[in-house]
Amino acid sequence: MGDIYFILHEFSLIILFALIPALLSAFINKLLISRYFGIERYRRIMREIRDFDRQLLQAARSKDTSRLEKLQAKKPYIDKMRSQTFKITMISTMIMLLFYYVFFVYLFVMIFKEPFDVLFPIISSNFSIPLYYWYIICLMLLSLLINRKIGIYY
Give me the pLDDT at residue 136, please: 82
Q: Could you give the CA distance from residue 60 to residue 111 in angstroms, rounded to a whole number? A: 52
Pairing state of beta strands 117-119 and 128-130? antiparallel
Give me the pLDDT at residue 1, please: 45
Give me the pLDDT at residue 134, please: 81
Give me the pLDDT at residue 115, please: 67
**pLDDT tens, per residue, the chain with 154 residues:** 445 555 566 677 778 888 888 888 888 888 888 888 888 898 899 899 999 999 999 998 998 888 989 999 999 999 999 998 888 888 888 887 887 777 777 767 777 766 677 776 667 777 778 777 888 888 888 888 998 888 776 5
Give me the pLDDT at residue 6, please: 55
| Ranges of each domain in the chain | 2-149
Quickly count helices (H) and strands (E) in the chain.
Answer: 4, 2
For residue 94, which of 25, 37, 22 has the smallest C-alpha distance? 25
